Chain A
Amino acid sequence: DTAVSQTPKYLVTQMGNDKSIKCEQNLGHDTMYWYKQDSKKFLKIMFSYNNKELIINETVPNRFSPKSPDKAHLNLHINSLELGDSAVYFCASSPRLAGQETQYFGPGTRLLVL
């Protein structure tokens, strides 16, 4: 009965590889997000989708491409991985209704690029 789930939990890969992280939410929310948390714990929004439509696209290298096949799923594909991409990536979802702004975070995917 997990609300927001991510796979994989850990990802160790070599520089230059391409990898994907998957996110699914069973809360019935319309909006999903990707955040990056760096080694200093700083949490920054990367992308947001509302009903499969991209609504936030921060200054993120175009090696990062989100894809939302349906409103319950938001995947993150990363091309040509670099050392600086090592971080924890969190998916989140929200009903995004007045009075219901809570964003529910997944457990995170710990990416280490060697």
Chain B
Amino acid sequence: QQQVKQSPQSLIVQKGGIPIINCAYENTAFDYFPWYQQFPGKGPALLIAIRPDVSEKKEGRFTISFNKSAKQFSLHIMDSQPGDSATYFCAARQSYNTDKLIFGTGTRLQVFP
């Protein structure tokens, strides 16, 4: 049972483009939504995160848009660069008590010069 659905599976853009990765969830008890970036051969690293009381959060070229009523959130990468080529995972925290993260299936982004 996939509690966090992520799309697309892969994405190819030109340098300067704005890739958008979407995630949807069902469990209204989720209270924290991070995005992780993973380069080949490395562990995932936190990129940006949002809580459901905020509709948008921006950090540098990365923006999360959050739609609580639709139970959807998305990652936008402005002015994408070849160095942004990586796999991106959305996640949702199931419980504050356990701090359990449920990850999406990942999106492989390739940014060509």
On A, residues with C-beta under 8 Å from B are 4, 31, 40-45, 48, 55-56, 90, 92, 94, 96, 101-108
B18-42 vs A, Cβ < 8 Å mask (1 yes, 0 no): 0000000000000010101010011
Whether the Cβ atoms of A48 and B43 lie closer than 8 Å is no
Q: Which residues of B contact A40 (CB under 8 A)?
A: 105
A106 to B44, CA, bound (A): 8
Total A-B pairs, Cβ < 8 A: 55
Q: How many residues of chain B have a CB within 8 Å of chain A?
A: 24
Given contacts A48-B99, A94-B99, contact A43 B49 (CB under 8 A): no
Shortest distance from the beta carbon of B35 to any chain A beta carbon, whole Å: 12
Are A48 and B106 in contact, with the CB atoms below 8 A? no
Which of A48, A106, A108 contacts B98 (CB under 8 A)? Answer: A48
- Is A90 within 8 A of B103, CB to CB? no
Chain B residues in contact with chain A, CB under 8 A?
32, 34, 36, 38, 41-46, 49, 87, 89, 93, 97-103, 105-106, 108
In the complex, which residues of chain B have a beta carbon less than 8 angstroms from the beta carbon of A56? 98, 100
On chain B, the residues within 8 Å of A102 by CB distance are 34, 46, 49
A38 to chain B, nearest CB (A): 11
CA distance A20 to B43 in the complex (A): 19
Query: Given the complex, which residues of A lie within 8 Å of B102, measured CB to CB?
Result: 45
Q: Pick the residue among B34, B42, B89, B108 that contacts A101 (CB under 8 A).
A: B34
Decide if B99 touches A31 in the complex (CB within 8 Å).
Answer: yes
**7 A–B contact pairs at CB < 8 A?**
A41-B108, A45-B102, A48-B98, A55-B98, A56-B100, A92-B43, A102-B34
Contacts A41-B106, A101-B32 hold; do A90 and B44 have CB atoms under 8 A apart?
A: yes
